[in-house]
Amino acid sequence: MSQQNTISINGMRYDAHTGLPLGPLESSKPVPAVAKPARTVSVHAKGVHRTQQRSTTLSRQFVKKTAAPVKKPVHAGAAMDMKRHTTVARSPHISKFAPRPQAVKPVATDVAPVPHRTVVKAHQTLARPAKPAPRPAHEIKRTAIHDAMQKAAPAPAQRKARPHRRVLNVASASLAVLLLAGYFTYVNMPGLSVRIAAAQAGIDASYPDYRPVGYRLNGPVAYKEGQVVMQFASNSGPQQFALAQSKSGWDSSALLENYVDPKSDGRYATYSDAGLTVYTYGSNAAWVNGGILYTVEGNAALSNDQVRRIATSL
């Protein structure tokens, strides 16, 4: 059988038409054949159009299937890039082509559930610690007193006063009392003098609460049986007037008839104030009140208003 009618698979020879094994291949190396001129083989049409042969099953136990290497498909663009990289190096001056964009996966944002305000407030109320029961009033009072006594600092020990300091303190206090007594005595001296003189004269005399501005009591208060006289002098001139108080049984009419009319020669003025009838003539005046005759005499130019205020202040 010629070599053209046989095939070799894995070291075994098989018939190309029937597929039957013919034996192993020769171990000796084949001698290279000399090229012969091609010969035309004539085939009869009957050999080509012969009847079909019944198929025979190939024994698979003598056939070992070889796994063909699987080639990965290469993209046309990638193949072109590989070819380009292998053939031509890209110049570093080319900046037209941007790098391939990286695929960015979309990030799905989800909104977290938000609790309702009422639910949040209820949870906060439940999370708060429970308020303790109010303490009784007597217990609070007892605790406060106890704390105050604990915090109270002990009273400092009193130092014994030295003898000379004690004497100095007593002398200072006595001097202050004397100064105050002297001041009040000086202020109330006219009133005290009038009271002493009234007691000696035996009448109910008094010191006026109103004194004309610029006038002062001049000298001691003079008195005699049933009469007290006070002298007032001006601070800026020789003007002065005397205020005399004496017992009298006259009323306003008797005073006018027996005293004011003779002294004024009928030239007088009458004023009524606070139930008193005051007669003025020149720089003098006279009135009666409670059994006491009051007279003002001197060269002081007192106004009618000043005389009335003196009369109502006694």
The radius of gyration of the chain's CA atoms, rounded to the nearest angstrom, is 77
How large is the average pLDDT for residues 256-266? 89
User: Beta-strand (E) ranges in the chain?
Assistant: 6-9, 12-15, 21-24, 215-217, 222-224, 227-234, 240-247, 269-273, 276-281, 284-289, 292-298
Inter-residue contact 242 to 221 (CB < 8 Å): no
**pLDDT tens, position by position, 276-292:** 899 999 889 999 998 89
Residue 28 clears pLDDT 90, i.e. is over it: no
130 vs 74, more confident = 130
Residue 140 clears pLDDT 90, i.e. is over it: no
Residue 201 clears pLDDT 50, i.e. is over it: yes
At 233, the pLDDT band (50, 70, 90 cuts) reads very high
259 vs 184, more confident = 259
When the pLDDT of each residue in the chain is averaged and rounded to a whole number, the result is 76
Inter-residue contact 177 to 283 (CB < 8 Å): no
Residue 122 has what pLDDT? 87
Residue 34 has what pLDDT? 46
User: What is the CA 227 to chain-centroid distance, rounded?
Assistant: 78
Q: What percent of the chain has pLDDT over 90?
A: 13
Residue 127 has what pLDDT? 85
Distance CA 75, CA 86 (A): 16
Inter-residue contact 195 to 188 (CB < 8 Å): no
Distance CA 131, CA 297 (A): 91
This prediction's pTM: 0.43
Q: DSSP characters for 59-90?
A: -GGG--PPPPPPPPP--HHHHHHHHHHHH-PP
Domains of the chain plus CATH, in order, are 1-28 (no CATH), 188-313 (3.30.200.100)
245, 241, 253, 250: which is closest to 302 by C-alpha?
A: 241
At 33, the pLDDT band (50, 70, 90 cuts) reads very low
Distance CA 307, CA 302 (A): 7
**pLDDT tens, position by position, 65-96:** 555 555 555 555 555 555 555 555 666 666 66
Distance CA 289, CA 260 (A): 15
122 vs 164, more confident = 122
Inter-residue contact 249 to 235 (CB < 8 Å): no
Residue 223 clears pLDDT 80, i.e. is over it: yes
Inter-residue contact 12 to 23 (CB < 8 Å): yes
How large is the average pLDDT for residues 46-69? 59
Report residue 187 as tokens. Answer: 């202020």
